[in-house]
Structure formats: C-alpha cells, structure tokens
Amino acid sequence: MEGSEAVPRVGVVVFVIKENTVLLGKRRSSIGDSTFAAPGGHLEFGESWEECAARELKEETGLDIDNIEFLTVTNNILLEEAKPSHYVTIFMRTIMADPCQIPQTLEPNKCDGWDWYHWNDLPKPLFRPLETLVLSGFNPFPAPEI
Ligand code: 8DG
Ligand code: MG
Ligand code: MG
C-alpha cells in the first residue's frame, strides 16, 4: 500500500540473473511509465530486504528463487515524474530455483511483460534509477572466479 505524503520511501529491486541476462519489464506506473525496470516494490513494515525482494518477485512474476544477496543502494530523487517521488532503492541479486521457470506477467496493470536482456544490450528507455546505476558502471553479475 502506498501512502500519499511527500516522504522518502524504500524500494527493493531484484535482478534475476539467468546465465548472462537479467529480467526486465516495461513499467505501467505514474513513476517511470513506459520505461524498463527490474521487478520490485515497496519495503513493508517489519520486512527484511530479502523477504521483500522474494515477495515482490513472486507477486509480479511467479518466480521462486534460490538465494538472494544485497548488491548496492542508491538515492533517487525523481521530481520530474508524473508523481514526484524520492526513493532509497535497495538492489538485490538472485537466481531462479528452477532455471527453466518462465516469468509470468501477474500484474499486467503495472508491467507490460518480462523478458531477459544482456547487460550490454539493455532496452531503452531504462527507468531513471536503473539508468543512473548502469551509467555509474555498475553491473549486477557475479565476478568471474579467478
Ligand atoms: P507494491 O505496491 O507492490 O509495493 O509496489 P510496486 O507497484 O511493485 O512498486 P514499484 O513502483 O514497482 O517499486 C517501488 C519503487 O522502487 C519504485 O516506484 C521506485 C523504486 N525503484 C527504483 N528502481 C526500480 C526498478 O528497477 N524496479 C522497480 N520495480 N522499482 C524500482 O528506484
Ligand atoms: Mg509490486
Ligand atoms: Mg513493482
């Protein structure tokens, strides 16, 4: 449930990694409409970041995950959006419990559909917080073992 006061909110976003691709979908929202973003949502009272990421992913895609880890956090002041917003965004990484599982579009009013994208061939336009992260040089893939 989203409140209406102008306060910073906590968003938890999850990069689902499948081989060398990541899951993104085109948003339907008053924040970042028609831009590509990862699954995620608002941290609920009493929830860990891991619980939130797993819950949002399940609600939005039906996917079950195997392990989940914290990647990074960014501060996103989104005053140009239809709904001016400020998010502290927690980025997590996970893999699917069953690599053959197909993501479903379970909230079609919020996302046009999910697909897998290579990090060096991401769809455009990206949701601003994601674009900022990419432009900073960040990448969510595990470092190769030496
Ligand atoms: P909920 O009611 O299910 O909790 O919320 P939601 O409708 O799923 O929220 P959301 O907009 O998908 O995610 C919450 C916020 O997280 C979003 O408004 C801004 C922030 N956020 C980012 N980057 C990303 C991203 O890549 N994906 C998603 N889903 N949210 C992001 O800063
Ligand atoms: Mg959600
Ligand atoms: Mg969402």
What pLDDT score does 54 carry?
Answer: 98
Q: Does the Cβ of 16 fall within 6 Å of ligand 1?
A: no
Residue closest via CA to ligand 1's atom 10 equals 41
Give the Å distance between the CA of 101 and the centre of ligand 1.
23
Q: Is 1 a residue whose pLDDT tops 70?
A: no
What pLDDT score does 23 carry?
Answer: 98
Q: Assign residue 40 a region (left: φ > 0; alpha: ψ between -120 and 50; beta: otherwise).
A: left
Q: Which atom of ligand 1 is nearest to the CA of 110?
A: 7
**Residue 119: band (very low, low, confident or very high) from pLDDT cuts 50, 70, 90:** very high
Give the Å distance between the CA of 136 and the centre of ligand 2.
26
Average pLDDT of the residues of the chain: 95
Look up residue 130 and give its two tokens.
Answer: 């994601």
Q: Which atom of ligand 1 is nearest to the CA of 89?
A: 32
Contact 25, 115 (CB under 8 A): yes
As a whole number of angstroms, the distance between CA 71 and CA 103 comes to 22
* Element (DSSP H or E) covering residue 26: strand 21-27
Nearest partner of 125 among 26, 39, 41, judged by Cα: 26
Give the Å distance between the CA of 41 and the centre of ligand 2.
4
Average the pLDDT over 52-71 and give the result.
Answer: 97
Average the pLDDT over 70-87 and give the result.
Answer: 96
Q: Which atom of ligand 1 is nearest to the CA of 44?
A: 4
pTM (2 decimals)? 0.96
Q: Is 50 a residue whose pLDDT tops 70?
A: yes
- Pocket mutation for ligand 1, best pick of 83, 87, 110 (most atoms within 8 Å of C-beta): 87
Which CATH superfamily hosts domain 3-135? Nucleoside Triphosphate Pyrophosphohydrolase (3.90.79.10)
Task: Collect all residues with Cβ–Cβ distance below 8 Å to 67 and sequence separation of at least 6.
Answer: 94, 95
As a whole number of angstroms, the distance between CA 24 and CA 111 comes to 10
Task: Collect all residues with Cβ–Cβ distance below 8 Å to 85 and sequence separation of at least 6.
Answer: 9, 31, 76, 78, 79
Which residue do the tokens 């970042």 mark? 32
Give the Å distance between the CA of 84 and the centre of ligand 1.
14
Distances (CA, A) of 60 to 31, 45, 57, 86: 17, 19, 5, 22
What pLDDT score does 5 carry?
Answer: 75
